[in-house]
């Protein structure tokens, strides 16, 4: 077994946040699938039903945190996978900013969607 | 205590026949990760139909959001794609737990067995979920 067997830099913050978001996402992704496929069947979803769920503060907060953590985990994961494939120099920098902007746009649009689904604000 | 085995790089996919369990786990985790992040962007795009929904049509159940979701759910291919998404998500979760354990140094010597367990459990959960995913109203 190799001494250090990780795709990330040792002690890096990206590594730590990838793990911390993973712990949160394990529970929330499973909960999301259970609620919207088993408790409520996806085919029976309506805007009013979604609005009722999203108008509870705890559910809204959980879903918005889900959006932010999943976006970070996904975009950071893609970046890491590309660095792993040997991406370096200015291309690495370009990819970093491109993924950062894509992630930011997704969070902005996801927030707009969240606000459209709730009566909280 | 630690020994180094030179297995070559996992990125050299042409030699896949020589890959060990851990290397397959790495590949499956990357693949399922790519699928999930792609789905995340698509998912928010579909949910964007909720922006600017007319309250009267929402009451009548004829708003864009409700009709988009029921329209997609009426397609059998979408139901199968959802089963695929479940498989991908469950494997990523289970192998993710395995990776957290590996990072914490727990059960390192059985990391190959825990990969096989992740695969088996994913298969079992997906098979058990097929009736739920394919059930419910179709067009």
Compute φ and ψ for B120, nearest 5 degrees: -65, -45
Distance CA(A64)–CA(A48), nearest Å, equals 19
Asked if residue A8 is part of any domain, the answer here is no
Mean pLDDT of B92-114: 93
Mean pLDDT of all residues in B5-26: 77
B82 touches chain A (CB under 8 A): yes
Query: pLDDT 10s per residue in chain A (121 long)?
Result: 445 556 566 667 888 999 999 999 999 999 999 999 999 999 999 999 999 999 999 999 999 999 999 999 999 999 998 988 889 999 999 999 999 999 999 999 999 999 999 999 8
Asked whether the beta carbons of A1 and A52 are under 8 A apart, the reply is no
B44-59 pLDDT per residue, tens: 999 999 999 999 999 9
Q: Is A51 domain-assigned?
A: yes
Q: What's the number of domains chain A is made of? A: 1
Q: What is the pLDDT of residue A89?
A: 95
Please tell me what DSSP assigns to residue A37: I
* B100/A19 touch (CB, cutoff 8 Å), yes or no: yes
Residue B36, Cβ neighbours under 10 Å: how many?
Answer: 21
Inside any domain, residue A53: yes
> Is B48 touching A (CB cutoff 8 A)?
yes
Dihedral sign for Cα atoms in the order A57, A62, A66, A68: positive
3-state helix, strand, coil in chain B (%, to 5): 80, 0, 20
- Does some domain include residue A44? yes
A80 inside domain = yes
Q: Which residues contact A121 (CB under 8 A, 6 or more apart)?
A: A115
Neighbours of A67 (CB within 10 A): 20
Asked if this assembly's ipTM is beyond 0.85, the reply is yes
Residue A104 in domain:
yes
- The answer as to whether A17 is a domain residue is yes
Residue A94 counted as domain residue = yes
Q: Is A84 at the interface with chain B, CB within 8 A? A: yes
Backbone conformation region of residue A101, classed left if phi is above 0, alpha if psi is from -120 to 50, else beta:
alpha
CA B24 to chain centre: 16
Q: Does B8 score more than 80 pLDDT? A: no
Distance from CA of A120 to the nearest CA of B (A): 15
The boundaries of the domain holding residue A75 are: 13-117
- Say whether A50 and B65 touch across the interface (CB within 8 A): yes
Q: Distance (Å) from the C-alpha of residue B111 to the closest C-alpha of chain A?
A: 11
Best B44, B57, B59 member to test A by mutation, with max A CBs in 10 Å, is B44
So what's the pLDDT on residue A50?
Answer: 97
């Amino acid at each position: 077994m190799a001494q250090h067997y990780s795709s990330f830099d040792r002690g890096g913050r990206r590594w730590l946040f990838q793990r911390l978001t993973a712990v949160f996402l394990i529970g929330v992704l499973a909960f999301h699938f259970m609620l919207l496929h088993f408790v409520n069947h996806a085919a029976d979803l309506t805007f009013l039903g979604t609005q009722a769920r999203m108008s509870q503060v705890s559910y809204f907060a959980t879903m918005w945190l889900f959006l932010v953590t999943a976006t970070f985990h996904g975009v950071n994961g893609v970046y890491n996978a590309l660095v792993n494939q040997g991406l370096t120099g200015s291309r690495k920098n370009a990819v970093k900013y491109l993924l950062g902007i894509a992630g930011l746009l997704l969070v902005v649009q996801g927030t707009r969607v969240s606000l459209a689904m709730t009566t909280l604000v | 205590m630690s020994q180094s085995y030179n297995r070559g790089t996992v990125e050299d996919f042409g030699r896949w026949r020589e890959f060990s369990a851990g290397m397959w786990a790495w590949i499956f985790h990357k693949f399922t990760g790519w699928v999930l992040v792609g789905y995340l962007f698509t998912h928010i795009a579909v949910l964007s139909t909720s922006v600017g929904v007319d309250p009267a049509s929402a009451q009548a159940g004829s708003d864009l959001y409700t009709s988009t979701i029921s329209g997609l759910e009426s397609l059998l291919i979408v139901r199968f794609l959802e089963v695929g998404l479940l498989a991908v998500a469950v494997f990523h979760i289970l192998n993710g737990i395995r990776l957290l354990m590996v990072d914490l140094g727990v059960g390192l010597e059985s990391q190959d067995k825990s990969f096989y367990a992740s695969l088996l459990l994913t298969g079992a959960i997906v098979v058990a979920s097929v009736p739920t995913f394919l059930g419910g109203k179709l067009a």
